[in-house]
């Protein structure tokens, strides 16, 4: 058997592999081992990286889980807060609705109170206007005080202009018409007449009285003196003939001056008392006294008579006004207006 093996070996030797092929095989084996080693290293590296990645992912997942848990807790807290806010919003909504109702009630009450205040304001103004119109009418009818009546009517018109109810506009127009009629019939200023009378009274003592010659010359018609007139004038110093016709000078000059002063004083008092008839009668007596008892050729006497004539000529430009129409119209309108509601009826409407 050993011989057989030797024979086989002897026989194989001639068929041996070439050396280059063995080296190639060895190189291939080495390369295969290197590739295998590299593959094993790569596999080990990949496994190591995969393990590290898995650990990192696990840590990330744990972090995310903790964040998710915290987020869930925050979401639950937020949900609870939202629920609380919704509850509070419901309460606020209910409160707002209650406030809206209260505001609506307050607006209604304010509107009603404003109407009542306006009505009360107009009522006070109308009371004042009625009082002023009545005062102006009475001052003119009882005392003939045109200036006072004009002032009262002017104030009444100003008061009526403040009334906001347009229904009383015709009353104001009627009052203006009566005021214009008063202004047209009003005499000049009484103060000017009083000053003139005072000046005349102060001049009475200086006015010259009339003598017999001056009275005869004043009563005789002006003509050219003839022969017989010259003869009569020559004998007038010897014989004097006069008539007792009531125009001769008084025996005591103080009586004439005092009478004139009394007439002027009575004219002043009548003017202050708004007694026009007595005022004019006193002025006419004063003018007659000046013409009969004072020297009418004197400039002072002529000036006094001119001033008295001016006082007698002072009359209103228009006819006597008819007052009372505006007052009657105002009273009629006020009687037809409905009464204002009581303020207590709106106070109870303001409820929460």
Note whether 258 and 228 are within 8 A (CB).
no
* CA nearest to 160, candidates 139, 131, 193: 131
Query: Is the predicted pLDDT of residue 78 greater than 60, yes or no?
Result: yes
pLDDT average, residue stretch 316-332: 78
Residue 145 has a pLDDT of 78
User: What is the pLDDT, as a whole number, of residue 154?
Assistant: 92
HEC string of 316-339 equals CCCCCCCCCHHHHHHHHHHHHCCC
91, 113, 106: which is closest to 351 by C-alpha? 106
Give the pLDDT mean for 16-35. 81
pLDDT in tens, 129-177: 999 999 988 888 887 778 888 889 999 999 999 988 888 889 999 999 9
Residue whose tokens read 């080693």: 37
Residue 16 is predicted with a pLDDT of: 55
Q: What is the pLDDT of residues 231-277, one digit of tens each?
A: 455 544 444 444 443 444 444 555 888 899 899 999 888 877 777 78
Say how far apart CA 333 and CA 188 lie, in whole Å: 36
**pLDDT top residue among 88 and 3:** 88
Of 21, 293, 276, nearest to 142 by C-alpha is: 276
More confident residue, 245 or 336: 336
CB contact at 8 A, 135 and 144: no
Percentage of the chain exceeding pLDDT 70? 72
What is the reported pLDDT for 245?
39
In this prediction, residues 76-104 reach a mean pLDDT of: 87
Query: For residue 271, what are its two tokens?
Result: 């003017």
pLDDT attached to residue 344: 43
Percent of the chain with pLDDT over 90: 11
Which residues, at least 6 apart from 215, have a Cβ–Cβ distance to it below 8 Å? Answer: 247, 248, 249
Write the DSSP symbol of residue 243. Answer: -
pLDDT for 120: 77
What secondary structure letter does DSSP report for 222? P
Task: Using pLDDT thresholds of 50, 70 and 90, give the confidence band for residue 118.
Answer: low
Q: What pLDDT is recorded for position 318?
A: 52
Q: What is this structure's pTM?
A: 0.44
Q: Which residues of 241-271 are buried (b: 16+ CB within 10 A; e: fewer)?
A: eeeeeeeebeeeeeebbebbbbbbebbbebb
Residue 288: band (very low, low, confident or very high) from pLDDT cuts 50, 70, 90: very high
Assign 286 a pLDDT band (cuts: 50, 70, 90). Answer: very high
| DSSP codes joined into one string, 187-213 | -S-HHHHHHHHHHHHHHGGGSPBP-HH
Q: Average per-residue pLDDT in the chain?
A: 77
Nearest-5° Cα angle at 332, 328 to 333:
120
Q: pLDDT tens-digit profile of 175-208?
A: 999 988 888 776 666 678 888 888 988 988 888 8
Packing angle of the helix pair 253-272, 190-203 (nearest 10 deg): 170
């Amino acid at each position: 058997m050993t011989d057989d093996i030797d024979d086989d070996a002897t026989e194989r030797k001639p068929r041996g592999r070439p050396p280059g092929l063995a080296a190639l095989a060895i190189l291939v084996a080495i390369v295969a081992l290197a590739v295998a080693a590299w593959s094993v290293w790569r596999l080990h590296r990949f496994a190591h990286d995969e393990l590290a990645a898995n650990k990192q992912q696990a840590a990330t997942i744990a972090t995310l889980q903790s964040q998710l848990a915290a987020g869930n807790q925050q979401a639950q807290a937020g949900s609870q807060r939202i629920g609380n806010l919704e509850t509070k919003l419901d309460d606020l909504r209910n409160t707002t609705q209650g406030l809206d109702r209260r505001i609506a009630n307050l607006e209604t009450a304010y509107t009603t109170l404003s109407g009542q205040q306006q009505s009360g304001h107009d009522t006070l103004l109308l009371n004042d206007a009625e009082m002023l119109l009545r005062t102006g009418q009475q001052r003119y009818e009882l005392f003939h005080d045109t200036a006072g009546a004009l002032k009262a009517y002017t104030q009444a018109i100003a008061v009526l202009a403040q009334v906001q109810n347009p229904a009383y506009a015709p009353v104001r127009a009627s009052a203006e018409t009566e005021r214009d009629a008063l202004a047209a019939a009003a005499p000049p200023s009484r103060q000017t007449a009083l000053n003139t009378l005072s000046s005349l009274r102060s001049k009475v003592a200086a006015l010259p009285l009339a003598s017999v010659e001056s009275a005869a010359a004043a009563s005789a018609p002006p003509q050219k003196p003839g022969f017989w007139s010259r003869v009569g004038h020559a004998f007038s110093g010897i014989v004097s003939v006069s008539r007792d016709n009531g125009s001769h000078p008084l025996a005591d000059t103080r009586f004439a001056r005092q009478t004139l002063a009394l007439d002027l004083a009575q004219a002043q008092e009548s003017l202050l008392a708004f007694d026009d008839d007595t005022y004019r009668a006193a002025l006419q007596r004063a003018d007659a006294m000046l013409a009969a008892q004072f020297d009418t050729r004197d400039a002072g006497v002529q000036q006094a008579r001119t001033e008295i004539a001016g006082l007698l000529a002072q009359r209103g430009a228009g006819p006597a006004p008819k007052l009372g129409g505006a007052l009657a119209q105002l009273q009629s309108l006020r009687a037809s207006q409905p009464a204002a509601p009581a303020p207590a009826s709106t106070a109870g409407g303001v409820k929460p």
